[in-house]
Amino acid sequence: MGNKKIIKFSFIFLTALLLFNPLGENNSSHAATTDSSIVNMRLMETTDIHVNLVNYNYYQDKPTNEFGLAMTATLIKQARSEAKNHMLFDNGDLIQGNPLGDYVARNGLEEGEVHPVYKAMNLLDYDTANIGNHEFNYGIDYLKESIDDANFPYINANVYYDDGDSDPTNDENFFQPFKIIDKQVEDENGNTQTVDVGVIGFVPPQIMQWDSTNLEGKVITKGIYETAQKFIPQMKEQGADIIVAVPHSGLGSVELQKGEENATYNLTEVEGIDAILFGHAHEAFPSESFAGIPGVDLEKGTINGVPSVEAGFWGNHMGFVDLKLEKNGEDWDVIDSSAEVRSIYDEETGEALVEPDQEIIDAVSEEHQATLDYVRSEVGETTAPIHSYFALVKDDPSVQIVSNAQKWYTKNAVEGTEYEGLPVLSAAAPFKAGGRSGANYYTYIPEGPIAIKNVADLYVYPNTLKVVKLNGEQIRQWLEMSAGQFNQVDPDAQEQQSLVDLDFSTYNFDIIDGVTYEFDVTEPSRYNNDGELINPDAQRIVNLQYNGEPVNDGQEFLVATNNYRAGGGGNFPNLDGSQIVLSPQVQNRQAVIQYIQENETIDPSADGNWSFAPIDGNPKLTFQSSPDAQQFIQQDGNISYSGEGTNGFAKFNIDLSKPVTLSSIQQNVADLKQAGEIDHPLAVQLTNKLKQAEHQLDKGHRKQAIKKAEGFLKHLNNKAMNKFITTNAKEDLNNAAGELISNWQ
């Protein structure tokens, strides 16, 4: 084609184009159509890994299908393959939680040495991570050295430097409060777009109580909800197209409460947040356990319309939120969403649903093997199995060993101090007692050698020993708070009743050893789970005694406990850190190790210092435990196996009705006579038979006592006696005497 023809063709084309779109005219509808795009974005979350990098249970010293980042990594890679655009976030509680974490912290990190957590996580290309409350357990310096080698940024908005003044306007954030990531994405037309993703993190402000020793004077915290209200508008002003909140915080209450530990529900009501990836509570959302909560849509995975996910704990789930974004001019709007959690194993069969990622396992193999060598080293022996299967319903050997060790260490520590001579008590809780951590989350140590791994099984947290000074009334209120572990029992109800309140954290069920007491579970709880006094007249703790004498309100005691409880953790009354009188520089777990080493061989028998007050009536009470607990049911006890439960648990019955004794039958006869249900002649004869049985029992002649009790029954059931007794009274006495004889036999 010649040059003239090309010029002529170009002129005709431009003329036609101008006719349809004259120069200078702004065709806004066409511009909108051109700029408008759809982007599908996947936001993935891990949370509460607690150093479970390898799919290995260090306490039982065997592989597991139920947890481990190596398994989660496979899910992450699968989820990435399904989405063109994706981001990965972690929500904290990474560097503490199992023997591997303790081993690394115990040996310390040299400058430039990479924590095994980040050797693994750096392989997964995380975009951002949030700080969890357990990150502070080993101190701020260790935390800084640990996260220094993460190939991704850390954020937290509600921890500030403690500047020592009372002016909140000049407070400086300890961490970077938020980050805006320029994310390159591909829209549905195949075009490259940029979405500015703002990410903000939070931690429970209660870290100042839980880790006061590590944090006091260095940092302060502020409320999650209030902090979000401050920073979300700033993130918008700085260009965030969408905002993702990553609170290390559970769902929490519907009602807004200042300084809430679990504040995710509150965050859904903060304008500008487009998605929430939460954690801390060791639960999976969306799931049926959240059904019925106002504003929760489990099908969509939203809370008050905000797409949200919580990815379980220890790497047992991976969670993600899928957002559909539409470009509107320069802005991006969320026009649709969904949320999902995926498990690494089948909870019904226990079978793995994915294979572990070998790259992760190889990355931490050296530290994994060193941890195995450490936890397998022996410290002593036990003369009987130690387990926590019944720790919530009877005095327990796993708690007893910890209490024995704490008392032993404290008595040595107070020698030569002004506190020498004061009675020493110990507060310890069953850390592994099922609950939300599942049917396998119990302590079990077989008879024989005890290794470090077993002690870590007894005491799973890196707490430090603290000693508080309290009076008798304060001890009573401590126990009243612990009594929240139990539901209130209706003694007259005919239907089954669950004895244990599953919403109460078992690590808050403190047993105070050195005093004796009973729980009256027919009374309502005096405190709620937040430590608020809700029933001032309720008294669940009865028969509180020390050395066989009632505890006086003003009587002084030393109580060995841990830094979490002594500093106010769990919201227990009269415990806020000011009662601490001794701080031995030792971890509670190390005190247990030294106690076992000192004794070489230990007897794990519980001393039975607490029990339930007998209940009038015969309520049908149940509780759940591991199926393995059946082998430890005592034939002469009040616990029996009921059958299979849910989620892998087994169901058990417990009888708290008043035991039948000779004295109780004697009193029963007297009461029936007083009520006119037994006439005088028969009442006298029955009373005489019981006195004869009592006489034989006092002499130690059990067989003769049984014969006298059988004589009581024979006289009671003589047809000629029917005119002297009501039918109901006769039936009651028959049942009582029959049970007494059975017990004696």
Strand 306-311 with 275-278, pairing: parallel
Using CA atoms of 54, 57, 61, 64 in order, give the dihedral in degrees to the nearest 10.
-80
Phi and psi, residue 214, nearest 5°: -80, -25
The angle at the Cα of 248, spanning 244 to 250, to the nearest 5 degrees, equals 100
Average pLDDT, the chain: 90
Token duo for residue 623: 């509780």
Burial of 529 from C-beta contacts in 10 A (0-12 / 13-18 / 19+):
middle
User: Crossing angle for the helix pair 365-375 and 99-107, nearest 10 degrees?
Assistant: 100
d(CA 176, CA 363): 29
- Distant-in-sequence, close-in-space partners of 307: CB < 8 Å, separation ≥ 6: 274, 275, 276, 300, 301, 321, 322, 323, 334, 337, 338, 339
Position 20 scores a pLDDT of 41
How many residues comprise the chain?
A: 745
Name the least confident of 21-35, 89-103, 582-596.
21-35
At residue 316, the pLDDT reads: 96
Model pLDDT, residue 381: 95
**pLDDT value of position 391:** 96
- One-letter amino acid identity for 568? G
**Mean pLDDT of all residues in 99-127:** 94
Rounded to an integer, the average pLDDT of 599-624 is: 92
Determine the residue type at 683: A
Mean pLDDT of 230-240: 97
Q: What is the mean pLDDT of residues 607-619?
A: 91
Phi/psi of residue 184, nearest 5 degrees: -80, 125
- Least reliable range by pLDDT among 69-83, 164-178, 718-732: 718-732
Sequence letter at residue 431: F
Cα–Cα distance, 560 to 139 (Å, whole number): 22
Which of 280-294, 459-473, 545-559, 701-715 has the lowest average pLDDT?
Answer: 701-715
The percent of residues in the chain predicted with pLDDT above 70, rounded, is: 95
Average pLDDT over residues 122-151: 96
Q: Which helix (H) or strand (E) holds 37?
A: none
Strands (DSSP E) contained in 368-447 are: 378-382, 386-387, 424-428, 444-445
What are the phi and psi torsion angles at 371 (to 5°)?
-65, -40
How do 549-550 and 511-513 pair as beta strands?
unpaired
Sequence-distant (≥ 6) Cβ neighbours of residue 516 within 8 angstroms: 543, 544, 545, 546, 609, 610
Question: Distance of alpha carbon 136 from its chain centroid, rounded?
Answer: 18
Q: pLDDT value at position 36?
A: 62
Task: Give the single-character DSSP code of 134.
Answer: G
Q: What is the dihedral of CA 486, 492, 495, 499, to 10 degrees?
A: 10
Residue 601, φ and ψ in degrees, nearest 5:
-125, 130
Q: Tell me the pLDDT tens digit for each residue of 479-534.
A: 999 999 999 999 999 899 999 999 999 999 999 999 999 999 999 999 999 899 99
Q: What is residue 21's predicted lDDT score, i.e. its pLDDT?
A: 45
- pLDDT for 354-396, tens place per residue? 999 999 999 999 999 999 999 999 999 999 999 999 999 999 9
H-type alpha helices, 508-622: 563-566, 588-599
Task: Output the pLDDT for position 636.
Answer: 64
Mean pLDDT computed over 264-272: 96
Between CA 185 and CA 323 the distance in angstroms is 13
Quick check: 675 pLDDT over 50? Answer: yes
* Token reading at 156: 């937290």
CA pseudo-torsion sign 265, 266, 270, 275: negative
Does the structure show a pLDDT above 80 at 2? no
Q: Which amino acid is at 395?
A: D
Beta strands in 391-540 (DSSP E): 424-428, 444-445, 448-451, 465-471, 496-498, 511-513, 516-519
Average pLDDT over residues 428-446: 92
**Structural contact between residues 344 and 333, judged by C-beta atoms closer than 8 angstroms:** no
Look up residue 182 and give its amino acid: D
How much of the chain is in helix, strand and coil states, percent to nearest 5? 35, 25, 40
Checking if the pLDDT of 70 tops 70, the result is yes
* pLDDT value, residue 131: 98
Cite the beta strand spans of 128-229 per DSSP E: 128-130, 154-155, 159-161, 178-186, 192-202, 219-221
Percentage of residues of the chain with pLDDT beyond 90: 70
- Which residues have C-beta within 8 Å of that of residue 549, sequence separation ≥ 6? none
- Kindly report, residue by residue over 397-425, the tens digit of the pLDDT: 999 999 999 999 999 989 888 999 999 99
CA proximity to 621, closest of 667, 577, 643, 654: 654
155-175 residue pLDDT tens = 999 999 999 998 998 999 999
348 or 75: whose pLDDT is higher? 75
Q: How far apart are CA 461 and CA 458, in angstroms?
A: 9
Q: In what order do the strands lie in the sheet with 541-546?
A: 549-550, 541-546, 516-519, 610-612
User: Treating both helix axes as pointing N-terminal to C-terminal, what angle do 662-674 and 680-698 enclose, rounded to 10 degrees?
Assistant: 170
The tens digit of pLDDT for each residue in 551-592 reads 999 999 999 999 899 989 999 999 988 899 988 867 898 899
Q: What's the rounded Cα separation, in Å, for the pair 482 and 429? A: 9
Determine the Cα–Cα distance for residues 275 and 299; give it in Å rounded to an integer: 16
User: Tokens 């150093």 map to which residue?
Assistant: 51
692 pLDDT band, cuts 50/70/90, is: confident
DSSP 8-state class, residue 423: -
Q: Are 195 and 327 in contact (CB under 8 A)?
A: no
Reported confidence tier of residue 212, pLDDT bands at 50, 70, 90: confident
Q: Provide the token pair at 504.
A: 């109460």
Instruction: Please state the rounded mean pLDDT for residues 659-683.
Output: 83
